[in-house]
Amino acid sequence: MLRFDWKLLRGMMSIVAAGSLAVGCGSSTTSSDGADATTGTDDAAADAAGDTSADTSVTEDIGPNALIANGEYYLSVNVVPFGGLLLPFKATLTASGSLADGGKLATLELRALSENVTPMYVSEPIGLVKDVVVAKGGKFTAEFPEPILIPAKAAPTGSDVHVANFKLIGTIGAGDTICGDMSGTVTEFAKDVATSTFKAVKWGTQTTPPESACAAAPVKHYAGITTCPTLKAGVNTFTSAERNRRFTISLPDPLTATDLPLVFLYHGVGGDMPGILGHTKFEDLLKSDQFVLVTPESERDTKGVPVSQTEWLYGVQQTGDDNSDLVFFDDMVKCVSAQYKTNAKRIYVTGMSGGGMMTVFTSFSRSDVIAAAAPFSGGYLFKFPSTKNKFPEMVVWGGETDTAYSQNFHTFATALIPALLGDGHFVVQCNHGTGHKWPAAMTAANWTFLKSYTLGDATNPFAAKLPEVFPSYCTIAK
């Protein structure tokens, strides 16, 4: 049965009576009884006339030069100082005016997202600005009056993250898009993120991965090292991915064996090569065992400050020759293996905190190279991938008090273990319950675990029971 939209009819009559037609995307018309025609609420007069159904109509202004359509947008922020970490938001906005004459964003509301779970998690509103002036041509500055709280369910780290002085400096463009720069301070890390960028598109039109800048930067691909320098025990330097990179090589004394295992040991945020070596005492194992230990250093600028606050590029979904840290890993494997004749099927990774994060990231990204991995207080920031090589992983953490930079590594561990098990990996779990640290007893257990596995060999010596070198808090995960 044909149904008249009485509200729309009255709105048209009032426009005709006023002798004008309102244009400009985002503005609303108001009927003579005061009801906002954009709300879609029931109308008393229409109900009185016999229309008792909910009015779901939405009035949209039209015009070739409208400011921007009201509605929901997918807003992606590229947090450049954190290694290009992408943060997604759901933005809801109402606007009026035109690109030619300017206007305003009457409301701009943000919600945090997590696309690592099914169904997607969308938070309650976490930020709101009102009456943002938009200049001719679409430029605006939106300063959020309160710190933005990204709740644990949406934060990449699994713990609450606050961004103070959150500001979007953007331009509204054709096709209902907004892009520009984002600034603020991540409270937990005391890190200024003023060099970050963002882009918003109509909800449902976002790409994978999403666009996060006005103009997509060309993807930089790096060639692997072609000529390896002569290496030595101690600190070594070479150019990798167009960067000057350093790493320490530790060798057994005397070096009597060939076909040696190769172990990579990653330091954490704020750490360095001497620090992780001194803290873990991993070099002491070389007094009684034959292997090559490589301790990489994160990329730093000329003043010794990490280029990214995360230190390692485990916060970007780049797993090929577009990730300079993974190219660095590949180059170290190539050059160290060539000089010291290591066993290509016995390559292992381990590390603490940020180094634990890099350990997990490398084990997933280079699963065709890694025979076994042992992250200490580590985790993974993305949806867990399925890997062809089902490598064993020993997950070590310090319980619910395992926190650093206000981030809870207990949350990381309890998410990582079932993800690994679900993809068919063998997992040993070691909750030492003493916070964010590398227990002394775990160094020998770590090496015992790693050296027991060979890439491509399905034999699992610990499938039924762990040897006594493992502390009692280590168990086989089920």
Q: What percent of the chain has pLDDT over 90?
A: 75
Nearest to 351 by CA among 386, 382, 314: 314
pTM, two decimal places = 0.81
The closest alpha carbon to 245, from 311, 191, 197, belongs to 311
pLDDT tens by residue, 177-222: 999 999 999 999 888 999 999 999 999 999 988 999 999 878 899 9
- CA-closest candidate to residue 344, choices 258, 424, 222: 258
Instruction: Single out the residue of 354, 441, 423 nearest to residue 384, CA to CA.
Output: 423
C-beta atoms surrounding 471 within 10 Å:
15
* Range 71-202 has CATH code 1.10.10: no
Do you know the residue count of the chain?
Answer: 478
Fold of 234-476: Rossmann fold (3.40.50)
* pLDDT in the model for residue 302: 63
The amino acid that residue 416 corresponds to is L
Bridge partners of 249, per DSSP, are: 234, 294
Q: Which residues pair with residue 177 across a beta bridge? A: 173
Distance from C-alpha of 203 to C-alpha of 219, rounded to nearest angstrom: 25
Query: How do strand 372-376 and strand 393-397 relate by DSSP bridges?
Result: parallel
Q: Given this model, what pLDDT does residue 217 score?
A: 75
Record the tokens describing residue 346, joined without a space: 């016995």
121: its two tokens: 């998690």
What is the Cα 403 distance to its own chain's centre?
A: 18
Structure tokens at 159: 């713990």
The radius of gyration computed from the CA coordinates of the chain, to the nearest angstrom, equals 28
**CA 36, CA 465: separation in Å to the nearest integer?**
70
> What single DSSP character describes residue 38?
T
Using DSSP bridges, classify how beta strands 292-296 and 243-250 pair: parallel, antiparallel or unpaired: antiparallel
For 341-386, strand residue ranges (E) read 342-352, 372-376
> Mind listing the pLDDT tens digit for each residue in 377-435?
999 988 899 999 999 999 999 999 999 998 999 999 999 999 999 999 999 999 999 99
Low-confidence ranges of the chain (pLDDT < 50): 1-63
Sheet with strand 474-476: strands edge to edge: 234-240, 243-250, 292-296, 260-266, 342-352, 372-376, 393-397, 427-431, 474-476
Q: What is the DSSP letter of 419?
A: H
Residue ranges per domain, the chain?
1-63, 71-202, 234-476
Distance (Å, whole) CA 387 – CA 423: 8
pLDDT at residue number 219: 85
What residues form DSSP beta bridges with 148? 163
∠ Cα 240 350 266 (to 5°): 45
Interatomic CA distance for residues 353 and 276, integer angstroms: 11
Q: How far is CA 348 from the centre of its chain?
A: 24
